[in-house]
Structure 1
Amino acid sequence: MNISVWSVNQFLKLGDHVEGRDNRAVQKTVLGFMKLLFPTGEPTPEEFDEIVEYALEVRRRVKEQLNKRKPDEEYTCINMSYVNCRGEKVVVYYPESKYSEATQTPRKSADVEILRENAETDDFLLSGGLSGITEKSVPARDNKWQEKTLNILYGDTGYNYEVLFVGYMENVQVIESQEPYLVHSYQMNNLVRFAEIVAKTGDCKQFKLTTKTGETIEEKRIQESLEQLKAVLAEYAVDFEYTFSELIPDRFIHLSNGWEITLGRGLHIYQNQGRNYFLMGTYDQALKPCLECKIDYKRMKYRQNLS
């Protein structure tokens, strides 16, 4: 039997907390066991589930150790799961740490109920749709006109651009953005998503962008993409101007109504989900898991002339 990653993925159904690197690691482990254990045949659905569970347990061991050693939130999504042949979502632990408080509260700052040894079950039935997925809290949207520092933790969801920016963009005629990294397709996509917010507000007449040029021929195609964005924004009566500079000290957004938004990661606050287009957040930013970052909202002491 010619076993490949593609054929494995026909049956492999991974659930919560399985991120890009986890997905690849589990795929390779499952593929290796399939070649070793079933070189000339196929496993039963139950045997395949056993292989997947073992692969997730091995990956979890790695991820838990990384989380214990890293001070930030990068490796806190350790409760990885899969959907078995009976349609049940199974969270995979490993015996030594299953009831450890450090394991059950992987986040550095969280109020999480600890799993005790008398817990009835680790699995629950997917009753349809997304009803089996634990609901995450969505950040409050009453952020209009407040000076604040927003600390986003690794794996947080609910932070689309509407939540982050719209409350500060009322009566804005000019927006100036400094965003050095636009050489990859996902970075340009983030810029387009922000441009959609600019167009939807209806107040902005001019959008100024400063970015860096790419070093390779492929990266230098950024100018072609920016020209296309310029043409599209013109249809919404927004004048889009862009300039290139190699001296960009920080990433920020200046608004002509007096607000300055400083972004530690720029517009690129989301985790890279690879090319798996069936993950939640592929099309809705509010469902995208975030990277750890900080965003500052401040009134400019000396209002700049952005016109």
Structure 2
Amino acid sequence: MSETENEEADAGAPQQSDLDFKINLLFPGVVVRKDLVKAVKGNAIVPSYVLEYLLGQYAASDDEATIQAGIDTVRKILAEHYVHRSESELVKSTIKERGRHRIIDKVTVTLNEKADVYEAEFANLGIKGVIVDSPVIKAHPKLLVGGVWCICDIEYFHTDDQRLVPWILGSIKPIQLSKFDADQYLEARRGFNTEEWIDLLMQSIGFNPEMFSRRGKLFQLVRLIPFVERNYNLVELGPKGTGKSHIFSEFSPHGMLISGGEVTVPKLFVNNSNGRLGLVGYWDVVAFDEFAGKKKRTDKALVDIMKNYMANKSFSRGVETIGAEASMVFVGNTSHTVPYMLKNSDLFDELPEAYHDPAYLDRLHHYIPGWEVDIIRGEMFSAGYGFVVDYIAEVLKSMRSKDYSDRYLQYFTLSPDISTRDRDGVHKTFSGLMKILYPGGEATREELEEILRFAIEGRKRVKDQILRIDSTMAEVKFGYLDNEGTWHPVATLEEDEYPAYYHRVHEDAEPEEAPADADPLGGRAPSGDAAGSDEVAGPEPEPELLHGHLEYQGGQRGVSYDALLVPYLRGASQITIVDPYVRMFHQARNLMELIEGIARRKDPADEVALKLVTVENQDGPEKLQKQYEYLLQIKKSAAVLGIVFDVEFAEPHTIHDRSITTDTGWRILLGRGLDIFQRMSDSPFDLATKYQKYRELKAFGITYLRDFDE
């Protein structure tokens, strides 16, 4: 390659950070640049660990020329050997014509009892009945449950015996690391401080650590505990799009992700008709996706067996009791805000009824508050270096037999109020985080305290919700004592944010009404330079609600949605806005500012259904796509504030008046719709950019009508 070509290659590569340099120096050959997965994936529907296995073979380097050559090699391997379902017949033809061909496919093996042989089925190639020798099954028992991605040599030999399939398994190699040096891993870990190590783990997961707070990083790393801790029971409930199931489907060849609706006793534990073990007998982690849903049908027998397994690490097969060490993970979506759930039910409200049971919930060791986890955006993915996935997966697996749960005892003692089951939950989370962050067992007092508090908080979140469901259970003081005898209480973040709704109240007590200036996060509305507020020196008094018509002149200032519209929308649970012109950026921003105003003035535990009736942008597909993007972003942001935003697109000729109507009887006729402000400068130092009252108005009129009196 010429000097010019080298310069061009270097220009196209991401700038390597000091951390990336250290990662390559201390972990040579087992790290890979994380953006390469997208570069090679194309339309191959394979887990990340399969692609990273190949990248680890050919592109585990920080030399750009080696990386580019490795990418080309991996692309060539995928092109020649990965089986696309749409091309399965072509691949079968290739095997027939050549007599032997290497493929990459997902392989599942079953035992044919009648013929007393093991038979393989290839998911994408679409062939089955391929004979597998017993030694292969003994070496790779996971082939029997759920299927494993493999590199296989398939041969073709046709006979006149119609009972025999022509496909012959020449060789099979599951795609996972065969071995690693544990001592080298621990020694290299000592070359990183805690912050650097956490960032390396974040990049290994595939995220840019600069986009996450310290607490946000810990939430991501807690998702790894089931891989490093035996029989760990984790739950995460939260909004859609936060990547709850990604790690369990893409991160490790030792984890299995299944849909919550597909769970059965035979699939999960044991098939009593043939004695075959289920998933928990073979996999380190069994994760249940889409687990939430109140109306989902559940098998009572499955719930009972699951409760026994989660508590005792065993299940029955006829008269025999079988132990297993698979961790159980339950992830699902919530459809309400945290204050709404705390006011009206509990944080387990979305679970199916059979699982909304204190006996089951008490077996959960940690609750990740999914509402605190950011929705995944494109800029959150890492272009830095991280461990090749199957390498870190083997590292975590190797540490499952270790126990670090007592490492904090040299400095701290758990509250005597904490029960044995609560203590187990705290200990398992603490031990898991220790193995992930401090695999050598060495940590300072401050580092131990950080993860101890985090572990206590996660178990407290579980127990506090159980107390809501079962009022006969006694309150628990969660916290710890240090060696000096000082008591350190631990609270959940939602407990600090929503104290009026978090703690149980007696049925005869009147709930405390949220202050009128409560903000959507549960505190008081910010004043001064707070984001989104129109107040610079304290809140304005609520204006008198008027009936009738008002006119505003062009160039006039001093008007904001908080004064013009929001007072008329307070107390409404359903609001409809009819405005055909919500299509450009500034118009979408106007709508979002109105939503912010509604959120600031409502009880944070209440939900408001806000419907926009508008018209699609007629100025071309690109601008229409932009309009869709704006409205989708508004929908996501509004949901966080407890406002359920929906859009209805109408034909232009069907909208005659721009208006806002509420279920409290108000009808506001908007002459110009929400687009009442003149164009502003883009300067961040212009007060009008932030505060509506400093913006110049367009000339408009507004009419307030009340359909009925309160």
TM-score by length of 1: 0.49
Whichever structure has more helix as a proportion of its residues is 2
Give the greater-gyration-radius structure (CA).
2
TM-score by length of 2: 0.22
